[in-house]
Amino acid sequence: MPTFAYKAKNGPEKTVDGRIAAESQSAAVSRLESMGYIPVWIEEVTAGQPSEGHAIVGRARIASREVTVFTRQLAGLLRAGVPILRALTTIQQQNDNPVFRSVLMAMVGAVRDGETLSETMHHYPRLFPDLYINMVRSGESAGMLEEVLLRLAEARESDDELRSRVVTALAYPALVLTIGLMSIFVILTFFLPRIVHLFEGMAGALPWPTRVVLAASDVFAGYWGWIVAALVAGVLVARQGLATEGGRMALDRAVLRLPLVGRFARDTDIVRFARTLSLLIRAGIPVERALDLGGRTLTNRQLRAAVLSAVDETVRQGATVAAGFKRQPVIPAFVTSMVAVGEESGRLDEVLTEVAVFYQRELDRDLRLVTTLLEPALILVVGIVVGFIIFAMLLPIFQIGQAVR
């Protein structure tokens, strides 16, 4: 049976550590809870390996959706007048994930010891990013924690829905393209070489489509191992390049220049950024800090660099947000104009919400375009290629039949 090293809290001040045998990490957490301990970290120890402390969430066993549900539950309990310590305890007792339950137990202990909720969340950066913690801190300072948590939950649900819709729109076209390429590869590499003997002695009389297909089949059949190795090597080199900041920046810059995909990626990021920035400003976070936090939610590095450059070059020097955005050509002019209107009217948070709604509509239109046109277009392209191969192989047979007549 595996052995796990652990560190846990036993009461407000006492901390214990040791080792415990259990069938799995989840079982070890459950055993510690039954002993009245609040796990801080736990890790399986192999023979001869010294134990080292790691955050219990370090193994990424808590889904983002669970954090969103926790946020909404906590907001609902606080709005109902339940004290925060009792609210956390209630959520912890109802949680089904043993790892998340242990995290909530530790948070309950920390809040009982006098820490604020935002200070407690600092111990779990993978679950609660800086944006989340700053929002909670601002809610605590303004006495409107339940309202801030509700907005956070809604924002996270909107992001999850947007991400799900994008993945759903791209999943089927990607599947069609993958299956089509694999089918063409199998036909050229393994199927055609078995029937090529039918055309022996007809090399000079073969029509050009047949000669093209047979030449391609010869290449694939003779060098398919090298082709696969080259593809694998290309993928590995690409992954290594994308692991660097320069490689990711180059890819993101290239993505934005693509006709439909670039607008698709840009609109997705702008929706998330505008919604997040509006939420932060409405929570009372200073514009400079809100821009910095909101900019880091952008997945496209060129857009992120543009927003952060606008913060460094203009906003921190006393200029307006619109002036900073205007100096960044990658930021759409519509966003810059709307931000300028919001700053002049003192309704920047509302204007940013309108920007998010506008680009959400644009994104919905693009998604409909993708699902309506891209899927049949890919099927048509794959069908044309496979049909050309079949036509090229049957064409000599038709010619022979006509010559016999």
Interval 245-258: pLDDT, tens: 888 888 888 988 88
The 10s digit of each residue's pLDDT in 344-380 is: 988 988 999 999 999 989 888 888 877 788 778 888 8
pLDDT band per the 50, 70, 90 thresholds, residue 143:
confident
Beta bridge partners of 5: 19, 43
- Tell whether pTM > 0.75: no
pLDDT at 11: 66
pLDDT of residue 400: 64
Give the residue among 291, 299, 294 at the shortest CA–CA distance from 266: 299
Please tell me what DSSP assigns to residue 304: H
What is the pLDDT, as a whole number, of residue 351? 93
What is the CB neighbour count within 10 angstroms for residue 319? Answer: 14
H-helix segments, 80-129? 84-94, 98-112, 117-121
CA 283 – CA 145 distance, rounded (Å): 10
Q: Using a pLDDT cut of 70, give the percent of the chain over it.
A: 91
C-alpha 397/C-alpha 400 separation (Å) is 5
Look at residue 402 and tell me whether its pLDDT is greater than 70.
no
Q: Please state, for a pLDDT cut of 90, what percent of the chain lies above it.
A: 10
pLDDT tens for each residue of 18-64 = 777 777 777 777 777 777 777 776 777 654 444 444 444 444 478 88
pLDDT digit string, tens, across residues 375-388: 788 888 888 988 88
How many C-beta neighbours within 10 Å does residue 230 have? 11
Q: Using 50, 70 and 90 to split pLDDT, how confident is the model at 392?
A: confident
Would you state the pLDDT for residue 70?
Answer: 93
The whole-number pLDDT of residue 201 equals 64
Instruction: Report the distance separating Cα 145 and Cα 95, nearest Å.
Output: 22
| Three-state SS at 45 | strand
Residue type, 387: G
> What's the pLDDT score for residue 214?
86
Q: Average the pLDDT over each of 169-178, 250-259, 273-282, 393-402 and give the range with the smallest value.
A: 393-402
pLDDT digits (tens, 9 = 90+) for 226-276: 988 999 999 898 888 887 888 888 888 898 888 877 888 888 889 888 988
**pLDDT confidence of 87, banded at 50, 70, 90?**
very high
pLDDT of residue 196 exceeding 70: yes
Report helix, strand or coil for 349: helix
